[in-house]
């Protein structure tokens, strides 16, 4: 029985190491500043109508499950996709040509996206080694509807309570 418990523990540790990694964020330019965002607007583009092209987005790094890092900008109240690079965790990742997805070259207005872009700000209060779970002093929350910026708010955070 002890051996089985050790095997389960070992598999759990391997699983968490592979799939529980904090992720490289997408980038957003807004009001003259560059931000890391804890949101992935391009993922909402993919559906049965627009299948995710796994041949373009190759998984090669546990810190980037989606296989890319997208760069966005908000200009004149609209969200635009301006660049996509490989998510290979290198210092200078190569750009990915995704013009086949949209039938035209970038930039592309992100009319498919409705949701909230989360921009963490300030001091790190709680590090979570998984996805975008870390908590910072505040978040700038940009609400986007069909690619249009409709609301901007600041949410102050506190250190999460341990239960």
Q: Is the pLDDT of residue 27 over 90?
A: yes
**Better pLDDT: 27 or 94:** 27
Q: Is the pLDDT of residue 60 over 90?
A: no
Rank 21-35, 116-130, 144-158 by mean pLDDT and report only the highest.
Answer: 144-158
**Better pLDDT: 116 or 15:** 116
Q: Which residues pair with 117 in a beta bridge?
A: 142
Give percent of the chain with pLDDT exceeding 90: 49
* Segment holding 17, helix H or strand E: helix 2-19
Q: CA 99 to CA 4: how far, in whole Å?
A: 50
Q: Which residues pair with 81 in a beta bridge?
A: 72, 108
Mean pLDDT of 31-59: 90
Q: Which residues pair with 84 in a beta bridge?
A: 70
Chain centroid to Cα 84, Å, comes to 12
Q: What angle do CA 101, 93, 18 make, to 5 degrees?
A: 90
Mean pLDDT of 70-77: 97
pTM for the full predicted model = 0.79
Residues 6+ apart with CB under 8 A from 49: none
The pLDDT mean for the chain works out to 84
pLDDT-derived band at 4 (thresholds 50, 70, 90) equals: low
30-39, 71-80, 95-104, 121-130: lowest mean pLDDT where?
A: 121-130
User: What is the predicted pLDDT for the residue at 10?
Assistant: 41
Q: CA 144 to CA 116: how far, in whole Å?
A: 6
Whether the CB-CB separation of 101 and 131 falls below 8 Å is answered with no
* Segment holding 97, helix H or strand E: none
Whether the CB-CB separation of 89 and 24 falls below 8 Å is answered with yes
User: What is the predicted pLDDT for the residue at 11?
Assistant: 39
User: What is the predicted pLDDT for the residue at 2?
Assistant: 57
Chain centroid to Cα 119, Å, comes to 11
**Better pLDDT: 12 or 37:** 37
């Amino acid at each position: 029985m002890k051996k089985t418990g050790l095997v389960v523990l070992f598999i759990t540790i391997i699983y968490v190491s592979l799939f529980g990694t904090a992720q490289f964020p997408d980038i957003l330019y807004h009001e003259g500043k560059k931000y890391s965002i804890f949101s992935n607007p391009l993922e909402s583009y993919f559906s049965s109508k627009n299948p995710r092209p796994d041949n373009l987005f190759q998984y090669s790094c546990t810190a980037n499950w989606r296989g890319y890092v997208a760069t966005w900008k908000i200009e004149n109240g609209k969200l635009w996709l301006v660049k996509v690079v490989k998510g290979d965790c290198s210092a200078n990742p190569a750009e990915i040509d995704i013009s086949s997805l949209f039938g035209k070259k970038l930039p592309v207005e992100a009319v498919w996206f409705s949701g909230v872009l989360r921009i963490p700000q300030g001091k790190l209060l709680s590090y979570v080694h998984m996805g975008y779970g870390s908590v910072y002093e505040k978040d700038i929350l940009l609400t986007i509807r069909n690619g249009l910026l409709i609301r901007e708010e600041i949410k102050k955070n506190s250190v999460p309570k341990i239960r």
